[in-house]
Amino acid sequence: MRRGPVASVDLGSYTARLLVAAPQDNGKIRAMARKRIYVRVGDEQSMVCSHLLSNAAQARAIRALRRLFSCAKDLGATNIIAVATGVFRDASNWEEFWELVRKETGLDIKLISGAEEARLTAKGVLSALKSITPPWIVFDLGGGTTEFLFRQEESSSRDTVLSLPLGAAVLTRRFLAQDPPGPQHLQRLQRAIREILDNGLRAFKNIEKESITVVGTGGTVTSIAAMIHNLSLEEIGPERLNGTQINSSQIERIFDRIKAIPSALRVKLPGLDPDRAEVIVAGILSVMLIMEHLRENYLFVSLSDLLEGLLLDYLESAFDF
């Protein structure tokens, strides 16, 4: 039975993203279009210091949502599932912003918890990387937060789910005022990331000595993989990168290459979206230290994530396949 296209939207700390997909009779989805717009809410001083969405940040987010909504409708999407994540969870004026979004775009955007974001992200990852088996950890490094989901066994009833204040945009704003950052700035950032991981991942201490599969998703992980493989932006996609394995040494070489050059030169690097050049140093260092903390040298990449998870969750509840 044919069903019309559906769409998911994630309004995050640094980007607003859209996936339009066609439901398949077997319960799967076929991607029709993807779109990303940089809104840069998480690195605004007002958000970092006082958890307040500025008028300018709200205007950028609403313009992005209006464009994504229009794109989804043009492609025939009959239902659009929109969520807000990352720093929006801490916004003191979220309710006012939510009302403004409804008025300006017609979207009823839902604010989801870090735990729900981690669950849905893992669902999207597993739909693409079907061969991974427990124990595994999926982490999603965003602009303002990083979500983790650890599964020890096949059943999901004992999943460990965490959301930590570890995001490439927020960390850049707090610690990397100089471009390129000096050694002292990088040392302060490294100490801060290690402290967040040491305090936040205590629930994972009982698995640190085990061999686990680690899967990373999010813009930073995608950029790392693309830079390692010298891909053009047009070549970056789930079909090309889902399941790609990268190792710590490769990531460290990329980090050593970019940490000493200004963002104006980073924008020319193959595989790096120019709009991510300002925050990529903090992002890559975060990935390196996550892997160090988990004592794992290898990482699987997934571009399928929260957007896929949202649609699969919706379709499972809306239709009896």
For residue 318, give the nearest of 40, 38, 27 by alpha carbon: 27
CATH code reported for the domain at 6-112: 3.30.420.40
- Angstrom CA distances, 319 to 31, 138, 142, stand at 18, 27, 31
For residue 23, give the nearest of 314, 271, 246, 292 by alpha carbon: 314
Which residues of the chain form CATH 3.30.420.40?
A: 6-112
- Sequential pLDDT tens for the chain (321 residues): 457 999 999 999 999 999 999 999 888 899 999 999 999 998 788 887 788 999 999 999 999 999 999 999 999 998 999 999 999 999 999 999 999 999 999 889 999 999 999 999 999 999 999 999 999 999 999 999 999 999 988 877 789 999 999 999 999 999 998 999 999 999 999 999 999 999 999 877 666 556 799 999 999 999 999 999 999 999 999 999 999 999 999 999 999 999 999 999 999 999 999 999 999 999 999 999 999 999 999 999 999 999 999 999 999 987 643
Q: What pTM was computed for the model?
A: 0.94
* Strand positions, DSSP E, the chain: 6-11, 15-23, 29-38, 79-84, 110-111, 136-141, 146-151, 160-164, 213-217, 245-247, 298-301
Which residues of the chain form CATH 3.30.420.150?
A: 130-303
The arrangement of secondary structure in 130-303, i.e. its CATH architecture, is 2-Layer Sandwich (3.30)
